[in-house]
Structure formats: C-alpha cells, structure tokens
C-alpha cells in the first residue's frame, strides 16, 4: 500500500466521488468545500493506493476560520473491503505527523449508527462532545413568503453589504447555539471563504425597519445545497424570522435549480429543529461531533 499526498485541486473530484460512494450519506457540499487549500489555515489530504493504483482510503486534515480555533478536523475513509487491514491506522498516523504547534486538539464526525467507525474513533482517543442531527428537504417547488409590515427579505449571495458592520454584529450576536460553545463561531469572512471552486453561496437576509435581523447561509454543490447557518438577532426572536428567512432561501435556491437541501443542528437546539420540521425537513442522519487532544 502506497500513501501519498493528494494533488489539489486536480484530485478533488476523485476524492469526493470515493468518499460519497464509500459513505453515501456524506454531504458532498461540505466535503468539497473542505478541499480548498487557499481558504485553510492548514490542509493535509492523503491517498492510500494499492499496487495496481486503485484507491483504498482517503484522509483529510483541515484547520481554518470556519472551524474551532486550535482544532484540526480529521476524516479517514477506508474502502469497506479493506477495513481492519491497518490502512486506516497508517493514514491517521501520517495525518498526525509534524502538525503545526498551534493545533492543540482534533475534531471529527462519525455517523451515530456506524458502530464500527465509532469504535475506531474511540480507540484513537476521540470522545463524543455532541450529537448533530441532519435533516433534508426537497425545495424544487418552493415559493417565497410574502413579507408583512416592516419586514423585508433579500438575497445576498456575495455577502457584501452597505451596512456590513451591522450585519456582522447581528450574525455574531445570533450565535447562541451549542456549536458556538465548542468554538465554532462564524463571521462574514469565514462564510465568504467556505465555497470551493464550482460551488456557490446561497444567502438570504431579513431586515426589520431596514435593520439586519436574520440571516440564512448555504453552500450549493450542483443541485444539492447545505444550509450552514440560520440565525436571528436575539432582540428579534419570537417573530418567526428564522422561518421566513429560510423559506426565502429555499425559494431562491429553487430558482437556481437546486432540488435538495441538507442542514445540521445540534440535538440541544430544539428551536431551529422545530422551524425545520415546519418547513418540511425530514430525518437524514445523525453524527457524533468528537474531539480529543492532539497526539
């Protein structure tokens, strides 16, 4: 078995195809956006190939502004017929070699019903720190809500605003979600950096009396998109702004030819999960968010 560094961006399609074929529930929008070296503080992608050149496993280690400070997100995916052969452990060891000193902890995600992978992660020292629930929704026929009173809704895919400071302040104030407690705090700069080449941002902003009040941001990959974040100014909560903003996002996405939407929410965040249920989201999967100190 030969382990080598991936050539990016040339190998991105091969990696996305391998991972989504091996683990079909993997969100390709999120996966591809993590393979862009220019927007990562640190990125290491390794391939394990058999003597005949066949791809056996992939390992990805990434740190960046859209991940918790000091954390390296690590992912190791092994072809099913080669699990237990040691190739995953070999890749993980190479992934951990000579990491920058400012990376002090590792993070990963493992599907909650994948007992074999959970056992491997725990064997490697990872512990679950939260459960993320993924839901999906069909949006090809979505229509925009009619804003009432002093509410206005707008698209803003480039995340550029005349009142950028006010939008930034609203975005930061809105992050009272459990993920923020783990250090996953988003700002406009990190959101702008998220899409990979070939992907696009899809964004909706709600204003009340002209002031930023709520935002919903997604990354689209072909006809599928992932809603990264939906947040409401704490002072404006209780007015169904999350639902209206997300409905507007869905209609905008439908106009772009997007059919399916995925989103993740911590199981301890019932408010946004309730909104998603009202919008027609149904269960897709659940993922343990796992962490450990660096080796």
Distance of CA 272 to the CA centre of its chain: 16
E-assigned strands of 139-185?
Answer: 151-155
Each residue's pLDDT tens digit, 245-293 = 999 999 999 999 999 999 998 888 888 888 899 999 999 999 999 999 9
For the chain, give the mean pLDDT: 94
Per-residue confidence (pLDDT) for residue 101, from 0 to 100: 95
**In this structure, what DSSP letter does residue 143 have?**
-
Residues, the chain: 295
Q: Angle at CA 257, nearest 5°, toward 256 and 263?
A: 85
Each residue's pLDDT tens digit, 206-229 = 999 999 999 999 999 999 999 999
Q: In 3D, which of 70, 33, 44 has the Cα closest to residue 193?
A: 33
Report phi then psi at 204, rounded to 5: -130, 140
Q: Given a cut of 90, is residue 66 above it in pLDDT?
A: no
Per-residue confidence (pLDDT) for residue 68, from 0 to 100: 80
Fold (topology level) of 2-132: Aminopeptidase (3.40.630)
276 token code pair: 């998603």
Per-residue confidence (pLDDT) for residue 184, from 0 to 100: 76
* Domain assignments of the chain as residue spans, ordered by start: 2-132, 136-285
Q: 2-132 with 136-285: one CATH topology?
A: yes
Q: Given a cut of 80, is residue 107 above it in pLDDT?
A: yes
Helix, strand counts (H, E) of the chain: 9, 12
pLDDT above 70 covers what percent of the chain? 99
230 token code pair: 């939906």
Q: 247 in the Ramachandran plot: left (φ > 0), alpha (ψ -120 to 50) or beta?
A: alpha
Per-residue confidence (pLDDT) for residue 215, from 0 to 100: 98
Contact, 34 vs 19, CB < 8 A? Answer: no
pLDDT above 90 covers what percent of the chain? 87
pLDDT band at 179 (very low <50, low <70, confident <90, very high): confident
Top-tier CATH class for 136-285: alpha beta
Q: In 3D, which of 193, 188, 222, 152 has the Cα closest to residue 41?
A: 193
Q: What is the mean pLDDT of residues 183-201?
A: 91
């Amino acid at each position: 078995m030969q382990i080598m560094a991936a050539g990016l961006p040339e190998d991105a399609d091969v990696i996305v195809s391998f991972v989504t074929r091996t683990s079909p529930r993997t969100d390709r929008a999120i996966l591809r956006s993590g393979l862009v070296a220019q927007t990562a503080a640190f990125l290491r992608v390794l391939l394990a190939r058999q003597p005949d050149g066949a791809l056996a496993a992939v390992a990805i280690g990434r740190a960046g502004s859209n991940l918790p400070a000091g954390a390296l997100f690590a992912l190791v995916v092994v072809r099913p017929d080669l699990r237990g052969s040691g190739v995953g452990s070999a890749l993980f060891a190479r992934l951990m070699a000579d990491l920058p000193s400012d990376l002090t902890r590792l993070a990963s995600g493992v599907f909650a019903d994948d007992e074999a992978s959970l056992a491997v992660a725990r064997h490697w020292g990872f512990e679950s720190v939260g459960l993320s629930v993924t839901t999906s929704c069909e949006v090809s026929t979505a229509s925009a809500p009619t804003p009432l009173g002093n509410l206005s809704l707008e698209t803003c895919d480039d995340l550029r605003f005349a009142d950028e400071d006010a939008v930034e302040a609203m975005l930061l104030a809105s992050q009272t979600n459990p993920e923020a407690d783990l250090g996953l705090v988003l700002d406009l700069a990190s959101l702008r950096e998220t899409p990979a080449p070939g992907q696009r941002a899809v964004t909706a902003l709600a204003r009340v009396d002209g002031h930023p009040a709520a935002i919903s941001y997604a990354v689209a990959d072909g006809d599928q998109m992932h809603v990264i974040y939906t947040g409401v100014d704490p002072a404006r909560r209780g007015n169904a702004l999350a639902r209206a903003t997300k409905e507007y996002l869905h209609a905008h996405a439908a106009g772009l030819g997007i059919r399916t939407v995925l989103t993740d929410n911590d199981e301890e965040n019932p408010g946004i999960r309730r909104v998603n249920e009202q919008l027609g989201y149904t269960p897709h999967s659940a993922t343990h968010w796992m962490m450990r100190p660096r080796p």
